[in-house]
């Protein structure tokens, strides 16, 4: 007989049921942790309830407590563990910065890092000749072109808060990466160019945020240049994005006449200065209140306009409502000039105050199938004591010297600590995490502990994929991480046949990142790339050369759109696969896709085989 530990023997004693009566599992847990929860005996099923407020807890807690009870040496309660976990959760802020290209998103990221103390000298995002590049733009192509092509994760501490900041690509050709990142954050910071207002990519990003009810704070940038009047910019946001704007700061002048911003909550005027040389400059408060004579001294003719604007906002403006902001119905608005470090301090202070702490996430439980073929669904709260997390991004070659791959995991519940044993539910294997990382763009360092909301990196040797879930014990899968059907396709060609093995490895690893999709046709050995935007193909060819030493090119292929195909009718599905075999391919995860040569062919296939599903998106498994 297999030997048992003291805790297991003790649990077995409580669980056995002799004639004299014995402890049930529920009673044993109640005895072991008397100060932590009470037991609801009104139902047959076990239900854990908090003493304070009788809040129902999830099954994760029940299984976690039982696992701990079976292995503990002495009685103890978990109230201190829960209190510490909740304290750390309250200190976390995890957000993404989103915008249309050239609105100043990456520049604002640099300045948030600067004011947060993470860097001492801010770089630029200008192409080619900049002496210092943005921290978040670390790829060779990003430095050369002055654009962001991949999401960077940066963590820093500010005023006691642990900030997890994700700088996303602004260009629409990299939007799939941005959409996926928005599933891993609790709020977003939207950057608007004051001269251009709402642009096409801004609308698409807002649609994604609206689907998830993501709270948004808006920063209207480039006030040091001539642009649209502030009221017109806000009207543009409300009209095109469908969200109510509430300014928390207001500009005094614009362009060459820009003098500063007025903090509406603190009733303070801050004077603008463009002299910073990339370093942090403290905004100087020159006047408190709106009625003092000092306004004319510093603002001149702009003082009368500022007073008129402030009076109009007082009489006709919408008051700020925290609940509406958290419900994504209202966005606080800030004005400033990120390149000149102006308005950033107020933004960062208010963000840490208003933005939500880590939120719960929906999940399904694969060990609990339902009659309709789906699985039982639930909601995992961040203060569940058992660790859980989901991978939302894979990045290859962050350190080219080691050809490494890193999986970015968002912690959803519980506490991570070095040496924690986790179950990788897709593979069923257990991992002992001794080398998890935290990030500052390309730079990384080991971490001993992390909490919900934090982003940690797991070294990946090809076994971890986007959408994978890790927990300590409970089998579950987090939902809501999509893969989008690509709109553009190219066949990859190799100039040196001796590099075939390197090309295959490079394409497979780069496809794991999710920015492009790799298809292998059923009828030949071609490598076909699918992407949301054309620029992705240039990125892949550039990275193949820079990171894998592969000289490749791409050429058009006869495909205009892709649809993942499924059917419950096996006979018709087999007939479909025989008829369209030449246009079928497997993606990197082995899912079957129809690469339609034309929209007419796609429509014809859908009419010919009505029992076959043609899906535009696919939940990442």
Please state the rounded mean pLDDT for residues 489-502.
90
Total count of residues recorded for the chain: 621
Q: What are phi and psi of 367, to 5 degrees?
A: -85, 5
The pLDDT value given to residue 328: 92
Q: Does residue 367 surpass a pLDDT of 90?
A: no
Quick one: average pLDDT of 216-224? 94
**What residue has token string 């609990």?**
368
As a CATH number, domain 92-354 is 3.40.50.300
505 burial type by CB count under 10 A (0-12 exposed, 13-18 middle, 19+ buried): middle
pLDDT surpassing 70 at residue 184 = yes
pLDDT at 315 over 90: no
Instruction: Check whether 172 has a pLDDT greater than 90.
Output: no
3-state secondary structure of 262: strand
Q: Which of 190-199, 229-238, 288-297, 329-338 has the lowest mean pLDDT?
A: 288-297
Over the Cα atoms of the chain, what is R_g?
A: 27
CATH class as words, domain 361-478: alpha beta
Q: Which of 325, 330, 98 is nearest to 221 (CA)?
A: 98
Which helix (DSSP H) or strand (DSSP E) does residue 505 occupy? helix 500-512
Does the pLDDT value for residue 8 go beyond 50? no
Percentage of the chain lying above the pLDDT 70 cut: 75
Model confidence at 539: pLDDT above 90 = no
Question: What would the mean pLDDT of 499-527 be, rounded to a whole number?
Answer: 89
CA–CA gap between residue 447 and residue 411 (Å, rounded): 13
Helix axes 535-548, 500-512, angle to 10 degrees: 120
Q: What is the pLDDT of residues 266-302, one digit of tens each?
A: 888 888 776 555 455 555 566 666 565 567 777 777 7
Band the pLDDT of 403: cuts 50, 70, 90: low
- Do residues 158 and 117 lie in contact, with contact meaning Cβ atoms separated by under 8 Å? yes
Between 119 and 459, the more confident residue is 459
| pLDDT bracket for residue 556 (50, 70, 90) | very high
Supply the angle between the helices 570-579 and 599-608 in degrees, to the nearest 10. Answer: 150
Over residues 371-386, the mean pLDDT reads: 84
Is residue 399 very low, low, confident or very high in pLDDT (cuts 50, 70, 90)? low
What average pLDDT is seen over the chain? 79
Query: Which of 168, 175, 133 lies closest to 151, judged by CA?
Result: 168
Distances in Å between the alpha carbon of 30 and those of 34, 60, 78?
5, 16, 12
Band (62; pLDDT cuts 50, 70, 90): low
Residues 420-440 pLDDT 10s: 999 998 888 888 888 888 876
* Predicted local confidence at residue 125, as pLDDT: 41
More confident: 302 or 353: 353
Rounded average pLDDT over 499-508:
90
Mark 391-415 as b/e (b = at least 16 C-beta within 10 Å).
Answer: bbbbbbbbeeeeeebbbbbbbbbbb
CB atoms within 10 A of CB 251: 27
Averaging pLDDT over each range in 134-138, 218-222, 314-318, which range is the top one?
218-222
Instruction: Note the pLDDT tens digit of each residue in 434-471.
Output: 888 887 655 667 888 999 999 998 888 778 888 899 99
User: Which carries the bigger pLDDT value, residue 57 or residue 284?
Assistant: 284
- How much is the pLDDT for 292? 55
In the chain, list all ranges with CATH 3.40.50.300.
92-354, 361-478
Q: Is the pLDDT of residue 51 over 70?
A: no
Q: Would you state the pLDDT for residue 78?
A: 59
More confident residue, 142 or 584: 584
CA dihedral over 359, 362, 363, 369, signed as positive or negative: positive
Give residue-wise pLDDT tens across range 596-619: 999 999 999 999 999 999 998 887
- Look up residue 18 and give its two tokens: 């002799």
What local confidence, expressed as pLDDT, does residue 32 receive?
Answer: 55
| Lowest mean pLDDT segment, chosen from 53-57, 221-225, 292-296, 570-574 | 53-57
Residues 503/492, Cβ–Cβ less than 8 Å: yes
Give the mean pLDDT of 22-43.
48
Burial label, 564 (beta-carbon count in 10 A; 0-12, 13-18, 19+): middle
Q: Which residue has the higher pLDDT, 324 or 512?
A: 324
Phi (first) and psi of residue 213, to 5 degrees:
50, 45
Looking at the chain, the domain(s) classified CATH 3.30.70.3280 span 482-619
Q: What is the structure's pLDDT at 491?
A: 95
Which fold would CATH assign to domain 482-619? Alpha-Beta Plaits (3.30.70)
The per-residue pLDDT for 66 is: 54
- The answer to whether residue 621 scores a pLDDT higher than 60 is yes
At residue 36, the pLDDT reads 47
């Amino acid at each position: 007989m297999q030997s048992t530990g003291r805790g297991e023997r003790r649990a077995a004693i409580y669980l056995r049921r002799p004639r004299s009566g014995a402890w049930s599992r529920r009673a044993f847990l109640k005895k072991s942790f008397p100060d932590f929860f009470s037991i609801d005996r009104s139902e047959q099923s076990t239900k854990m309830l908090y003493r304070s407020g009788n809040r129902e807890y999830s099954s994760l807690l029940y299984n976690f407590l039982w696992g701990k009870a079976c292995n503990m040496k002495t009685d103890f309660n978990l109230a201190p563990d829960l209190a510490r976990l909740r304290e750390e959760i309250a200190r976390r802020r995890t957000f993404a910065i989103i915008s249309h290209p050239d609105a100043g998103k990456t520049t604002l990221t640099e300045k948030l890092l600067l004011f947060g103390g993470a860097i001492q000298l801010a770089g630029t995002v200008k192409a080619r000749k900049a002496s210092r590049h943005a921290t978040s733009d670390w790829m060779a192509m990003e430095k050369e072109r002055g654009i962001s092509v991949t999401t960077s994760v940066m963590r820093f501490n500010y005023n006691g808060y642990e900030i997890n900041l994700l700088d996303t690509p602004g260009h629409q050709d990299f939007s799939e990466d941005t959409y996926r990142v928005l599933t891993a954050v609790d709020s977003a910071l939207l950057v608007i160019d004051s001269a251009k207002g709402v642009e096409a990519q801004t609308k698409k990003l807002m649609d994604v945020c609206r689907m998830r009810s993501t709270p948004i704070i808006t920063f209207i940038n480039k006030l040091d240049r001539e642009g649209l009047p502030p009221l017109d910019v806000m009207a543009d946001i409300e009209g095109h994005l469908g969200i109510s704007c509430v300014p928390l700061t207001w500009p005094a002048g614009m362009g060459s006449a820009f003098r500063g911003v007025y903090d509406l909550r603190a009733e303070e005027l801050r004077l603008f200065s463009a002299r910073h040389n990339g370093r942090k400059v403290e905004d100087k408060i020159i006047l408190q209140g709106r009625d003092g004579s000092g306004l004319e001294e510093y603002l001149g003719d702009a003082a009368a306009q500022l007073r008129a604007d402030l009076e109009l906002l007082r009489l006709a403006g919408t008051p700020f409502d925290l609940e509406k902001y958290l419900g994504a119905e209202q966005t606080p608005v800030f004005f400033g000039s990120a390149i000149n470090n102006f308005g950033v301090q107020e933004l960062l202070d208010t963000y840490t105050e208003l933005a939500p702490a880590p939120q719960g996430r929906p999940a399904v439980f694969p060990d609990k199938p339902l009659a309709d073929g789906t699985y039982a669904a639930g909601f995992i709260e961040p203060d569940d004591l058992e660790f859980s997390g989901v991978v939302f991004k894979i990045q290859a070659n962050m350190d080219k010297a080691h050809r490494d791959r890193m999986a970015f995991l968002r912690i959803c519940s519980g506490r991570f600590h070095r040496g924690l044993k986790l179950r990788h539910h897709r593979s069923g294997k257990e991992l002992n995490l001794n080398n998890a990382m935290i990030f500052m763009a390309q730079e990384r360092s080991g971490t001993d502990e992390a909490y919900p909301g934090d982003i940690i990196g797991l070294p990946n040797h090809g076994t971890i994929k986007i959408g994978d879930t890790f927990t300590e014990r409970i089998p579950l899968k987090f939902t809501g991480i999509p893969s989008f059907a690509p709109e553009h396709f190219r066949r990859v060609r190799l100039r040196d046949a001796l590099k075939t093995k390197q090309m295959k490895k490079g394409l497979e690893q780069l496809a794991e990142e999710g920015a492009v999709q790799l298809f292998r046709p059923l009828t030949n050995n071609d490598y076909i790339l699918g992407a949301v935007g054309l620029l992705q193909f240039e990125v892949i060819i550039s990275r193949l050369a820079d990171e894998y030493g592969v000289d490749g090119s791409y050429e058009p292929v006869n495909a205009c759109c892709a649809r993942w195909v499924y059917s419950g009718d096996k006979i018709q599905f087999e007939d479909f696969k025989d008829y369209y075999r030449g246009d079928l391919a497997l993606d990197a995860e082995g899912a079957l896709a129809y690469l339609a040569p034309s929209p007419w062919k796609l429509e014809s296939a859908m009419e010919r085989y009505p029992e076959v599903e043609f899906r535009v998106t696919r939940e990442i498994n």
